[in-house]
């Protein structure tokens, strides 16, 4: 399980980028809601410790515990629906002495599980039976996440899974066929859910979509936060108003964004650190994704490449969705900004995922 590695193969650049993101988030969270800043610091420390420990554990071990991971994932997601803590109409948290969000850990566990599944079935990945089996294995946790309800996490898991299938060798003909079906189906689905008698989505989810399509109509309700988020980002100009500022003309200081330390932390960064700070977050996220893909490129086996590709897909999509919401390009989704937003489960889970990526990098067979 544990083995000797060469220090020169340890990807310190990836660690630097992740830690930089985390401390930008730490300072922004302190400005947004000082009472939770200390807990975020604890999350960063715990995440770093777990990342280092996981990075020293041979990632091949996940192959032997794959069904345990899958079963644990299902149990935790069922437990949320049975005994979860409800907030704003959603059951996403369970209390185990502290608030824990299983769907965040599920993203990592599913990447690890499907990395070995796809590797094991690589030679017959394009057969009907393998594709159906993979979809059925994904459907169970996906349905449980969707029922919380957590549509945005459901979408992220699906996209990460699709990326891993493609990297694993799924035929481009199948990919084009799926796109040819899913794109028009998505248009039809979108039109159906906006009907008055539709019950596919929860009421608040439909309202968020409508508010995104017509923000002026919902300016005092569902679109309120997004409109103020865009205002905050634009008001930061080049260098921002400064962290913990006392500027009267501040969206944050005026409490125009609720829970700014989570979903809309990018608005705080934009307003207080300006264009430079906001751009720095995007660049750091891109660098993290590039390092994950670079490690995948030189991985010693398909499983390592799939794990790194899955993590790259997850971080890039999650980062894109959060920033797109904060800048008004997407409906509000409730997705945290990777390594930046307040939320210990999300933060620690991502650190664990990065730890696995680092271990893949420690076992590369080619020079970078």
Dist CA 165 CA 159 (whole Å): 10
Could you tell me which residues are beta bridge partners of residue 94?
A: 100
Cα(233)–Cα(216) distance, integer angstroms: 19
Please give the pLDDT value at position 88: 65
Residues 6+ apart with CB under 8 A from 265: 25, 28, 29, 32, 336, 337, 340, 341, 342
Residue 228 lies in a domain: yes
Domain presence at residue 11: no
pLDDT in tens, the chain (368 residues): 556 778 888 999 999 999 999 999 999 999 999 999 999 999 999 999 999 999 999 999 999 999 999 999 999 999 999 888 777 667 888 887 778 899 999 999 999 999 999 999 999 999 999 999 999 999 999 999 988 888 889 989 999 999 999 999 998 888 788 778 777 877 776 676 666 666 666 666 677 776 666 677 776 767 788 888 999 999 999 999 999 888 877 888 888 888 889 989 999 999 999 999 999 999 999 999 999 999 999 999 999 999 999 999 999 999 999 999 999 888 888 899 999 999 999 999 999 999 999 999 999 765 54
SS3 call for 14: helix
Q: E strand or H helix at 204, and its extent?
A: helix 203-213
- What total of structural domains would you count in the chain? 1
Number of neighbouring beta carbons within 10 Å of residue 2:
9
Q: If you search the block for the tokens 């730490």, which residue do you land on?
A: 26
Helix (H, G, I), strand (E, B) or coil at 125: coil
Looking at the domain assignment, is residue 84 inside a domain? Answer: yes
Short-list 269, 302, 362, CA closest to 4:
362
Question: Nearest CA to 298 among 341, 362, 348?
Answer: 362
Residue 101 inside a domain? The answer is: yes
What is the C-alpha separation between 196 and 214, in angstroms, rounded? Answer: 16
Could you tell me if 206 and 198 are in contact, meaning their C-beta atoms sit under 8 angstroms apart? yes
- The predicted pLDDT at position 143 comes to 94
Q: Is residue 9 part of a domain?
A: no
- 7 falls within a domain: no
Residue 174 is inside which H or E element, if any? helix 172-193
pLDDT score for 314: 97
Q: Are 240 and 273 in contact (CB under 8 A)?
A: yes
Residue 8 placed within a domain = no
Which residues in the chain belong to E strands, given as ranges? 85-87, 90-95, 99-100
Is 217 part of a structural domain of the chain?
Answer: yes
pLDDT of residue 219: 67
Structure tokens at 68: 């345990």
Q: Tell me which residue range forms the domain holding 122.
A: 17-362
């Amino acid at each position: 399980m544990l083995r000797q590695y060469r220090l020169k193969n340890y990807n310190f650049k990836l660690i630097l980028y992740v830690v930089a993101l985390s401390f930008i988030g730490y300072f922004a969270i302190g400005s947004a809601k000082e009472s939770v800043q200390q807990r975020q610091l604890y999350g960063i420390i715990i995440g770093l410790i777990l990342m280092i420990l996981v990075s020293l554990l041979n990632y091949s071990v996940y192959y032997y515990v794959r069904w345990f991971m899958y079963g644990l994932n299902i149990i935790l997601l069922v437990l949320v629906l049975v005994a979860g803590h409800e907030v704003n109409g959603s059951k996403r948290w369970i209390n185990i002495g502290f608030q824990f969000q299983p769907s965040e850990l599920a993203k990592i566990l599913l990447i690890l599980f499907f990395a070995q599944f796809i590797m094991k079935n690589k030679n017959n990945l394009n057969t009907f039976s393998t594709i159906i089996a993979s979809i059925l294995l994904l459907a169970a946790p996906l349905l449980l996440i969707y029922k919380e309800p957590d549509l945005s996490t459901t979408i992220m898991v699906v996209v990460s899974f699709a990326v891993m299938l493609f990297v694993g060798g799924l035929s481009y003909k199948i990919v084009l066929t799926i796109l040819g079906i899913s794109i028009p189906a998505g248009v039809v689905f979108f039109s159906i859910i906006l009907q008055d008698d539709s019950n596919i989505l929860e009421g608040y989810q439909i309202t968020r979509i409508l508010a995104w399509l017509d923000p002026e109509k919902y300016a005092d309700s569902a679109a309120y936060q997004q409109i103020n988020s865009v205002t905050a980002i634009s008001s930061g100009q080049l260098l921002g108003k400064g962290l913990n500022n006392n500027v009267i003309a501040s969206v944050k200081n005026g409490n125009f964004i609720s829970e700014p330390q989570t979903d809309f932390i990018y608005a705080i960064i934009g307003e207080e650190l300006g264009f430079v700070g906001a751009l720095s977050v995007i660049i750091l996220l891109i660098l993290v994704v590039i390092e994950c893909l670079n490690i995948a490129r030189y991985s010693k086996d398909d499983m390592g490449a799939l794990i790194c590709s899955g993590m790259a897909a997850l971080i890039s999509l999650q980062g894109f969705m959060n920033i797109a919401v904060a800048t008004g390009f997407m409906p509000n989704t409730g997705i945290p900004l990777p390594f930046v937003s307040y939320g210990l489960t999300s933060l620690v889970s991502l650190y664990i995922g990065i730890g696995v990526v680092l271990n893949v990098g420690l076992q590369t067979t080619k020079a970078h």
